[in-house]
Amino acid sequence: MKAADLILQHPEYHALLEDPATAIEQEFSPESGQMNPFLHLSLHLTVAEQVSIDQPPGLRSAYQTLRSRVGDHEGAHALLECLDETIWRAERHGQAMGANADLECVRRAAASSAAPWQIGRAHV
């Protein structure tokens, strides 16, 4: 997966990315309700790498099950949600990130009939 491929999959970011001066000056805070596009695209690269090396072991299989149900891009977004949830929990509880928690979240998303983005959002 290349960054250019991800940008093509996210037309909502095209205008911002075409104006680097504005992009650099813009603030993306949780209060604004707007996802930081640079963080979002970086997380896509992160989960693509996790899947490619099957880390944690079993992630690739769980992702393949999930994407067969919802498609590649929505499956990747479900992985992003699970990663977000894992990071949030670790930060909230002052603990190291647990890879198995991330994997369990993806497995729940793969097995659930709920929309994938509803699986990992227990903290919202």
Q: Where are the domains of the chain?
A: 37-118
pLDDT at residue 57 tops 90: yes
Residue in 76, 74, 73, 75 with CA at minimum distance from that of residue 43: 76
User: Helix crossing, 37-52 with 72-93: angle to 10°?
Assistant: 100
CB 9 within 8 A of CB 2: no
Confidence of residue 123 (pLDDT cuts 50, 70, 90): very low
State yes or no: pLDDT of 117 exceeds 70.
no
Tens-digit pLDDT profile for residues 63-93: 999 999 889 889 999 998 888 888 888 888 8
Is pLDDT at 118 greater than 60 in this prediction?
A: no
